[in-house]
Structure 1
Amino acid sequence: MKKVLCIGSVTTDVIVNPADSVPPAGTLRAVDSVTTHVGGCASNAAIDLAKLGVPVALSCKVGSDSFGEFVRGTAAAAGVDVRGVVSDPSVSTTVSIVCVGSSGERSFLYCPGSTSAFQKEDLQEEVWSDCDIIFVAGAMLLSSFDGKSCAAFFREMRAAGKFTVMDTAWDFEDKWLPKIAEAIPCLDLFMPSYDEAVKLSGKKELSEIADFFFEIGAGSVVIKTGADGAYICESREKRYSLPTYRTVKPKDTTGAGDSFCAGFLAGLAQGWSYEESGRFANAVGTHCIMEIGASTGIRSIAEILSFMERTPLD
């Protein structure tokens, strides 16, 4: 099986449930639970891949603080190779306060911290040299890496025979495409969510969005469409939608997109086709939303396949 390197955003997620609104100033409201989890696109995907049973390494930056130790320890305990987790005493570990609404949807209060400080120099050859799939997750949050540095790294990886992949996160600075335009032509696979893809492309129709990314150089495109599953574009000519398990009521959608990416890369790591990988990714994403926390619900590849056999698609 191929090994995956997940690079990029990492957070400690403090999840508040339910949090449908903020109490008026000076007042207090009780909630059902407040829990702490490792979050962030790269760390979520890495932990998910490890729980699935895929060899995986994580490259990110944390602060020299208790949150940073929590990230490192949690990832290592899940089976992730954490040699690429860099501690920097000059920054604090990125933290997200995740407000989970009664519907299962969430909103975030975000302190950028260490994720914004991650840079190309933090990527160690000893970490990426034995990896086959290079996945930058949380692009547009990586202020010191997005753009020229990321593009240069991807060119280096392709020259070394690696398969290059990128996922995006919501750009709270509202700059969007200029942050990653240089990197897209260096990608074998681009996997944004629908909402992020709309902001990046200025288009709303899935086919037009995919055309836009192909025109600027993406090798293939997968657009995550939430409860509708995914739109898979293996090439300009070969495109199709894959439905997901809509009958499963979400407890928490935190990390659902990251778990889809992990599932898709798990398929590719085993040599599966894009269609097989996409169907599996939808099932992994469904397991994510069954539990509170970005990686809590993820099971082994065998358990996910068993779920797929016994559970009808809506």
Structure 2
Amino acid sequence: MTNPRLVCLGNLTIDDVVLPDGTERPGCTGGDALYACLAARLFEPRTEMVAPVGCDWPASTSAQIRAAGLSETGLSSRNIPSLHNRVAYDADGGRVWTLYNGDDAFHTLSPTIADIPASYLDAEIVLILAMTLDAQIDLVAGLKDRPNRLIALDMQEDYICGNEERLRRMIGDCDIFMPSADEAQQLLGHTDWQAAAREFAGLGPSIVVLKLGAEGVLVHERATDRMFRTPPFPGSVVDTTGAGDSFCGGFLAALLQDRCDLEQAACAGAVAAAFAVSDYGADPMFRAEPQEAMQRLRTWQGNP
């Protein structure tokens, strides 16, 4: 295969989905690495993922991943069961997660530098998605000194309390920081988003993207002090799982096409996220097509 331009580092999961009417969909494929990678490939086909899987990883899921055009080179095997969740949805769109694996398994199934194939190390952008804090710190430390590469960082809100200084140091070693509103508020203690973006940029990242859910995103470029908002792409919202991961993938893939066009990147991220929320689980990301994504992007921007 051709060496990827964008690599998404994260987790893969097996999700048992329970719909509001009680219908169950066991064994669905999920995980932040998958959402981000499929979203990115809508705009940059040279995108791959690195995500360890357990000893019981289903052959049918591997076949689904291959059918989507993704390589399994970065899916190293661990000698423990795969991450497995139960996700029960209610009629109002809420959901309850039951995690069958503990924190130790979550860490063991998070990627390390050793899991990254040699051909992936020359990628122009590496996206480090939510996983355990120690795993993220090790990845950032192992990748930060490689020339001509951007490191993009997403966060995991569960580890923030008590680790604020460690997080600030890690953020300072990244080029693009992409937290959610909840994560930013926990870390900084306020909801002045413009001030938050500048605070994060002051730590080191050249680009800060605050993901604000239904309010869209706020993007800040440190070098020019440019700040702008992009709303969500219009459409129905069924399940918000994976929306932030998909936004990150779409944003970074579009940024590879034009490093100066942050507005285009933000719109591409919004389009990718809209696919993710249009149905339950990762199914809509497997169905999404690059041609449709580009048409939605052009029409939304007034260029049909």
TM-score (norm 2): 0.85
Question: Identity of counterpart residues, as a percentage?
Answer: 23
Return the alpha-carbon distance in structure 2 between the equivalents of residues 48 and 214 of structure 1.
Answer: 25
Say which SS state the counterpart of residue 229 (structure 2) adopts: strand
Instruction: Give the AA of the match of 1:199.
Output: Q
| Larger strand share, 1 or 2 | 1
Question: 5+ residue gaps in structure 2?
Answer: none
Aligned length: 294
Counterpart-to-counterpart distance in 2, 1:44 and 1:103: 23
Offset at residue 114 of structure 1 (A): 4.4
Aligned residue identity for 2:93: G
CA contact (8 A) 1:2 1:270 kept: no
Instruction: Please give the root-mean-square deviation of Cα atoms over the aligned residues, in Å.
Output: 2.7
- Name the residue aligned to 1:5: 7
Pairing 1:182-201 to 2, within 5 Å after superposition: 182-201=169-188
Does 1:83 pair with 2:73? yes
Deviation at 1:53, TM superposition (A): 5.0
Partner letter of residue 54 of structure 1? P
- Alpha-carbon shift at residue 122 of structure 1 (Å): 3.0
Cα deviation for residue 204 of structure 1 reads: 1.3
Q: Secondary structure of 1:146's partner?
A: helix
Q: 1:294 aligns with which of 276, 279, 282?
A: 282
Whole-Å separation in 2 of the counterparts to 1:81 and 1:235: 35
TM-score by length of 1: 0.83
- Secondary structure of the corresponding residue to residue 136 of structure 2: coil
Residue aligned with 2:75, SS: strand
In 1, distance between residues paired with 2:154 and 2:269?
Answer: 14
How many Å separate the matches in 2 of 1:84 and 1:124? 6
Determine the C-alpha separation between the residues in 1 that align with 2:74 and 2:301: 40
Alignment gaps of 5+ in structure 1: 19-29
Give runs of aligned pairs for residues 60-99 of structure 1, distance below 5 A. Answer: 60-67=51-58, 69=59, 72-89=62-79, 91-99=80-88
Structure-2 separation of matches of 1:56 and 1:173 = 29
Task: Give the Å deviation of 1:55.
Answer: 1.2
Aligned residue for 1:240?
Answer: 228
Deviation string 1:247-286 (CA, Å, 9 cap, x unpaired) is x221211111111111101201222511111012111211
Question: Is residue 2:112 matched to residue 1:116?
Answer: no
Counterpart check, 1:137 vs 2:125: no
**Residue 96 of structure 1, CA deviation:** 2.3
